[in-house]
Amino acid sequence: MRKILFLLGPNLNMVGVREKGVYGFESADDIESQIIEYANQNGFEAEVYQSNHEGRLIDKIHTCMGEYCAVVLNAGALTHYSYSLRDAIACVNRSVPFIEVHMSNIYAREEFRHKSVIAPVCVGQIAGFGKTGYFLAVEAVKDMVE
């Protein structure tokens, strides 16, 4: 099975609209298409799932086992306080590795963004490279599954 889930949290549907100095000018749909294309070029099927609702993200995480070889997660602001999201990852991360991605450098932003409660249950974190972080995550998955 070579399928990667790209799981995107609150407000990531507004990339290209919100804080263009932080997130860039490309739309979320354009970036999603590029993620799918890049994954395909590297031998993976990709699914992108975005929700502004914590419970829906948790429900999706619960379905990951046996479906995906890895999950690339940009949890947005949930990164910093969602223990329920962290616990959902911990339920399945022995079977499915999670890579935490942030388009912005969370350590160069507001103080409250410096702490990730999900990092301890992820295999790694990529931050500050814009949409390229998603492509770097595909490279990391390649190294993990080959």
What's the full length of the chain, in residues? Answer: 146
Q: How far apart are CA 28 and CA 5, in angstroms?
A: 16
Q: How far apart are CA 3 and CA 58, in angstroms?
A: 19
99 SS3 class: strand
Q: How far apart are CA 140 and CA 146, in angstroms?
A: 10
- Annotated active-site positions, please? 23, 102
CB contact set of 141 (below 8 Å; sequence gap of 6+): 4, 44, 69, 70, 72, 97, 99
